[in-house]
Structure 1
Amino acid sequence: MRRLLLILNGKSAQREDVRGAVERVRGEGCEVRVRVTYDGDDAAQFAREAVRLAGDARPQVIVAGGGDGTVNQVVAAALEAEPATDCAFGVLPLGTANDFATGLGLPVDDAAAALALCAAAAPRRIDVGRINGRVFVNVASGGSVTRITRETDPRAKRLLGGAAYLIAGASRIGELAPTRAAFAADGFSWEGDFIAMAIGNGRLAGGGVPLCADARIDDGRLDLTLFPQPDADNLMTLLSGLLREPGSQFDGYARKARFTRLTIEAEEDLALNLDGEPMSARRLDVQVDPAALSFITGK
């Protein structure tokens, strides 16, 4: 019998499919405790408390029930509290885009199947990224595109899913001001104006867009995809390409690198999105922690 703790985003607490998933897993003999978030820091607090429990009181798998932001809060808080925790982690994907869960090959449209994996599948070791000490497991993105996606109307997200981010970018094209920064990594350096960047442990962001198409969660490296400032014609081509053929339009335009350490120095504070969680800084020190986390995946 596997012991699960489901840290459930309060917005999803009344979903019938979630209730059914919990009942199904309990019926198969697993212990499933559920803690529902109410305030913004609840998910982190529940995770910190869980990894500090002793013996049979400690869950074997901590499941983040929500979107990419909930996953980030749970994992980051757990690793901060107990960096060498023997708890495994999983995700019950209930967010708008569910980019991390999709990249893991999890059944994002079937809550029962996703929770059943957390109850039965063998976990694997995956890498974790850190920026100025802060944890991310999927993708950290920055630039003016990041600010626009952060401000995208929540109602549009609910109606359109991940496409809402791309439509918002196209509709506010005049606000895509470039950011100037210098990048230095293993065998890679670049300095200039850019409109977006992505640092990937995972592959997908912004509603299924493969910003870091070659990234692997267990290769001991992170991937950088950098979008220099284009002229107006190329910017429209880029945005329309994101809507039609994700991935293919990056070839020949984006700058890419794979690294274990990266330094970014910008002329002004650079707004970032770490798995949906905001931060900003003028200097960014990025590194990978190889095999730092035990996680249940679909692959």
Structure 2
Amino acid sequence: MPEASVVSPGRPWLARSSFAAAAAAVILVLAVAGLRGGIGLLLTAALGSAAGLAAAWWFLTHRGLWRWLAGTLVVLAPLVMAVVYMRHRLLWVVVAFVLLWAVAVAAGRRALSEPDHGPAEIVTAAPLSPYLIMNPRSGGGKVERFRLVERARALGAHVFLLDGPAVDVAEVARQAIREGADLLGVAGGDGTQALVAGVAAEHGLPFLVISAGTRNHFALDLGLDREDPSTCLDALTDGVEVRVDLGLIGDRTFVNNASFGAYAAVVQSPAYRDDKVGTTLEMLPDALTGTNGPHLALTVDGVTVTGSQAVLVSNNPYATGDIAGLGQRPRLDLGVLGVLAVTVRGAADAARLISGRGRARSLTVRAATEAVVDADAPSVPVGIDGEAILLPTPVRCVIRPGALRVRVPRQRPGTRPALPEMDWTRLRRLALGQPPRPVGA
């Protein structure tokens, strides 16, 4: 199986420091709380933590009165524990435990991190006939707010505005190529970026990303400035090229991810765009408990996982532990898909998933060149770069290594390497000086 990441062989002292801080935190609670408050105080902490985690699962999987009672318990559980410890004059123990545990996690994540040099930059000639497609409604009107049309035209670009309904963006891009465009670019959401990127890759043309969308995940992982999209236009005159991978689901390109199950069902709802939070809370109970929608089966590396509530297939893996695809991908040129499936079969699994302990039982993480998602239905809803699509089953996802030439400004903020999630098994190997294992192995 392709490697998504490998633990850095250095920094064993950080790994040992992490274990030392974690041990100090546990010993402190057992020694001081045990001597001062007895077994009852220790049980209060354990039961309070368990109750809070179980209540969080109930909040996500129920509606109405039960949801809000569970939400109240999520808030009250840590407060009650704090009050109990305060009455025993042991609040300082709680504070010290939290600080020591924070040190343990920070040191451990730093120990597991590895240097990231990003894809190689290639110096190429500036485009002579760039063609940019802009969505004036995207990102709350960033195109107009940052005067992107005027600035692009001043740099010699032809601009096409998506100001009408049901425009075939891919066909607009193909027509531009037929008329002599030597670069395609998009100022809009990631869904539009993906459609045009697929056309650019098909014809071997460079592609320009202008961060005028709402979240701009693709721009984030390219190291572009998401606060001022006009700086992306600097690539037209002072830019370099990087080669990145593209994902392919069926015959459609994706630059970020394709999601199935819980998240896809939410995105599929017509109410999602107007009320994202309310729609998500309304639909999550059925999606997470499997009472609504098709039952998924994920096949990757010859292994099939059934009964997952959510499956995420991404163009290169996200930082370890990002189970929602909301974070950052350290690289876009590893030549692999990131594949993640969440399978929760009850409150105990949910508690482990939420707390981060014992996630292996509920979380399947792989790096592979192909993944197939099937279901007990002729079609399945899929969220492709945030766009809701209905696809026939089985759905095949593959990676296209180095398929896209992306032109980026020479001067750009860059990416901040994302620290990996805590993996105590890998951390122990590092602390003991044992050979590292690839993530997902």
Per the alignment, residue 126 of structure 1 pairs with: 244
Contact 2:338 2:366 in 1 (8 A): yes
CA offsets 1:45-64 (integer angstroms, 9 cap, x no match): 211112233xxx323x2111
Per the alignment, residue 197 of structure 2 pairs with: 75
Amino acid paired to 1:58: A
Per the alignment, residue 297 of structure 2 pairs with: 182
2:386 equivalent among 276, 291, 295: 276
1:290 and 2:401 aligned: yes
Q: 1:199 Cα shift? A: 0.7
Per the alignment, residue 434 of structure 2 pairs with: none
Per the alignment, residue 266 of structure 1 pairs with: 375
1:255 and 2:364 aligned: yes
Per the alignment, residue 16 of structure 1 pairs with: 144
Q: 1:15 Cα shift? A: 4.2
Output the TM-score relative to the length of structure 1. 0.77
1:218 equivalent among 324, 333, 351: 333
Contact 1:22 1:115 in 2 (8 A): no
Per the alignment, residue 161 of structure 1 pairs with: none
* Distance in 2 (alpha carbons) for counterparts of 1:109 and 1:14: 10
SS in structure 2 opposite 1:155? coil
Amino acid paired to 1:218: D
Root mean square deviation, CA, Å = 3.3
Contact 1:198 1:211 in 2 (8 A): no
- Structure 2 unaligned residues grouped into runs of 5+: 1-125, 415-441
Per the alignment, residue 272 of structure 2 pairs with: 153
Task: State, as a whole percentage, how many aligned pairs show the same letter.
Answer: 25
* Distance in 2 (alpha carbons) for counterparts of 1:6 and 1:257: 36
Q: 1:236 to 1:130 in 2, by over 3 A?
A: same
* Distance in 1 (alpha carbons) for counterparts of 2:243 and 2:326: 23
* Distance in 2 (alpha carbons) for counterparts of 1:134 and 1:295: 19
Per the alignment, residue 45 of structure 1 pairs with: 171
Output the TM-score relative to the length of structure 2. 0.54
* Distance in 1 (alpha carbons) for counterparts of 2:316 and 2:268: 19
CA offsets 1:87-124 (integer angstroms, 9 cap, x no match): 21122222222222222222112021122235432121
1:199 and 2:313 aligned: yes
Moved beyond 6 Å, runs of 4+: none
* Distance in 2 (alpha carbons) for counterparts of 1:139 and 1:67: 13
Q: 1:203 to 1:222 in 2, by over 3 A?
A: closer
Per the alignment, residue 160 of structure 1 pairs with: none
CA offsets 1:22-60 (integer angstroms, 9 cap, x no match): 444555xx311110112323422211112233xxx323x
SS in structure 1 opposite 2:397? strand
Greater strand content: 1
* Distance in 2 (alpha carbons) for counterparts of 1:58 and 1:260: 32
1:35 equivalent among 153, 160, 170: 160
Q: 1:285 Cα shift? A: 1.8
SS in structure 2 opposite 1:294? strand
Contact 1:22 1:112 in 2 (8 A): no
* Distance in 2 (alpha carbons) for counterparts of 1:110 and 1:14: 9
SS in structure 2 opposite 1:229? coil
Aligned length in residues? 271
Per the alignment, residue 184 of structure 2 pairs with: 62
* Distance in 2 (alpha carbons) for counterparts of 1:224 and 1:76: 21
Q: 1:291 Cα shift? A: 1.0
SS in structure 1 opposite 2:220? helix
Amino acid paired to 1:17: R
Q: Give the structure with higher Rg (CA).
A: 2
* Distance in 2 (alpha carbons) for counterparts of 1:170 and 1:36: 35
* Distance in 1 (alpha carbons) for counterparts of 2:298 and 2:272: 32
Q: 1:271 Cα shift? A: 1.3
1:141 and 2:259 aligned: yes
* Distance in 2 (alpha carbons) for counterparts of 1:139 and 1:249: 26
* Distance in 1 (alpha carbons) for counterparts of 2:130 and 2:263: 37
Q: 1:173 to 1:232 in 2, by over 3 A?
A: farther
* Distance in 2 (alpha carbons) for counterparts of 1:255 and 1:118: 42
Amino acid paired to 2:174: R
Q: 1:273 Cα shift? A: 1.4
Q: 1:258 Cα shift? A: 0.8
